[in-house]
Amino acid sequence: MINYLLRRFAQAILTLLVVSFILFGLISAVPGGFMTVYAEKSDMNPEDLARIRAKLGLDDPIPVRYVKWLGSLLQGDWGKSLVSKRPVLEEISSRLPNTLLLMSLMLICTLLIAIPLGIFSAIKQYSWFDHFFTTLAFAGQSLPVFWFGLLLIIVFAVLLRGPDGNPLLPGAGMYTLGEPFSLWDRIRHLILPVSMLTFVSSAEYMRYMRSAMLDVIHEDYIRTARAKGLREWKVIFKHAFRNAIIPMATLVSLDLPSLFGGALFTETIFAWPGIGRLYFTAALKNDYPLVMATLIIYSGLIILSNLLVDFVYATLDPRIRLS
């Protein structure tokens, strides 16, 4: 067991190193790169630029620069944003609560909607209920998210009006400018982005829950449970559901890193000041340190969640750690 866990851990570290090297190489290879900030200033002459290049160590080969960069990363120096001049970690952590608020609400709504729908679709397979919701979920999975967001804005923030003649729901931001914080105002701003995210991810979760449930329903132990005369709801919720939820738990834990990355499209469209939007604007403005830091943290979280899923499985299933 310990051996297996150590091996997986070492692999994860190695993966993270390779991923960070690839990402670093990619960002470093951008023509102009860090120097565009200086090159844009017209009063810089070429000799000055060359001196700055040499001073910043930009003339070193990429592996050398990678090692230096990794060293300062490990010491907690992740660099400063080229745009705001603030440390990138500070930038990211200031946006993190907003993203977590949005994404955790989304996750709760999704689970509350998708799990019951998936279960009932599976129990009533081929009923009108099942047909309606599987078709809706299929459409939801084929929907370009950003377009769906635009449609929501057209309908709820442009066309539909509240009793006071203003748009029914705000289509951008986290709060109404110039007003003191109020919970109701925050909720109104959350409705559209959370609905957009929930609809799209419910589609995936619901289909997954349905097929997990269908797999379980045809197992022998369900037939046994029925044969010994258990009530149908007890068969479904005590026997089937508890087994069907396991693959769902895997799906959720593999999706956890995306709570950090947030929903780039949603945050961009609804001007929600989270990590996704921060990354998008950083990429638009060629803010390399910020782009790089976000990529590394995100990749690290993905690798970490994969590792956690492996650990949990290894503790639950002895066959895995022995193979």
Partner 1 sequence: MTTPTLSASQSPWQLFWRRFRKHVMAMFSLFLMGLISLLIAFAPLLATQDPMKQNLRNRFQPPSAAHWMGTDDLGRDLWTRILYGGRISLTVGMLAMAVSVVLGSLIGLFSGYYGGWIDSLLMRLTEIFLSIPRLFVLIALGMFLRSLDLPNLQAGSFFPIALVIGTLSWMGTARMVRASTLALREREFVQACRALGGSDWRILFQHILPNVASPIIVSATLGLSGAIISESGLSYLGFGVQLPTPTWGNMLSNTQSQMTTAPWTAIFPGMMIFLVVISINYIGDGLRDALDPRHTPR
Which one of 25-33, 99-107, 176-184, 245-253 is the stretch in contact with partner 1 (CB under 8 A)?
25-33
Q: Does 173 bind partner 1 (CB under 8 A)?
A: no
DSSP for residue 85: -
Tell me the CA distances in angstroms from 254 to 18, 23, 110, 238, 298, one per residue in order: 21, 22, 15, 25, 13
3-class SS at 87?
strand
Angle between helices 183-217 and 88-123 (to 10 degrees): 50
Q: How far apart are CA 301 and CA 260, in angstroms?
A: 8
Among 42, 75, 142, 323, binds partner 1 (CB under 8 A): 142
Q: Where are the alpha helices (DSSP H) in 29-61?
A: 36-39, 46-56
Token pair for 253: 């834990």
Q: Does 283 bind partner 1 (CB under 8 A)?
A: yes
Nearer to partner 1, 115 or 295 (CB): 295
3-class SS at 167?
strand
Among 62, 158, 160, 320, binds partner 1 (CB under 8 A): 158
Among 37, 56, 150, 256, binds partner 1 (CB under 8 A): 150
How wide is the angle at C-alpha 158 spanned by C-alphas 154 and 164, nearest 5°?
A: 150
CB of 164 to partner 1, least distance (A): 18
Tell me the CA distances in angstroms from 264 to 111, 228, 258, one per residue in order: 21, 51, 10
Which one of 108-116, 197-205, 233-241, 282-290 is the stretch in contact with partner 1 (CB under 8 A)?
282-290
* Amino acid in the structure at residue 133: F
Q: Does 243 bind partner 1 (CB under 8 A)?
A: no
Which one of 48-56, 61-69, 78-86, 146-154 is the stretch in contact with partner 1 (CB under 8 A)?
146-154
Q: Does 311 bind partner 1 (CB under 8 A)?
A: no
Tell me the CA distances in angstroms from 290 to 80, 264, 282, 311, one per residue in order: 7, 15, 6, 31
Q: How far apart are CA 277 and CA 305, in angstroms?
A: 23
Among 84, 176, 253, 286, binds partner 1 (CB under 8 A): 286
Task: Show the binding pattern over residues 33-72: x = contacts partner 1 (CB under 8 A), - = does not.
Answer: ----------------------------------------
Residues in 251-280 at the binding interface with partner 1, rule: CB under 8 A: 257, 261, 264-265, 268-269, 279-280
Kind and range of the H or E run holding 250 = helix 241-255
Among 5, 27, 73, 111, binds partner 1 (CB under 8 A): 27
Among 4, 5, 19, 35, binds partner 1 (CB under 8 A): 19
Q: Which residues on adjacent β-strands are paired with residue 87?
A: 80
* Amino acid in the structure at residue 156: F
Q: Does 11 bind partner 1 (CB under 8 A)?
A: yes
DSSP for residue 34: G
Q: Which residues on adjacent β-strands are paired with residue 167?
A: 161
Binding residues with partner 1: total (CB under 8 A): 50
Among 79, 306, 309, 311, binds partner 1 (CB under 8 A): 306
Binding site for partner 1 (CB under 8 A): 11, 14-16, 18-19, 22-23, 26-27, 29-32, 125, 138-139, 141-147, 150-151, 153-154, 158, 211, 214, 257, 261, 264-265, 268-269, 279-280, 283-284, 286, 291, 294-295, 298-299, 302-303, 306
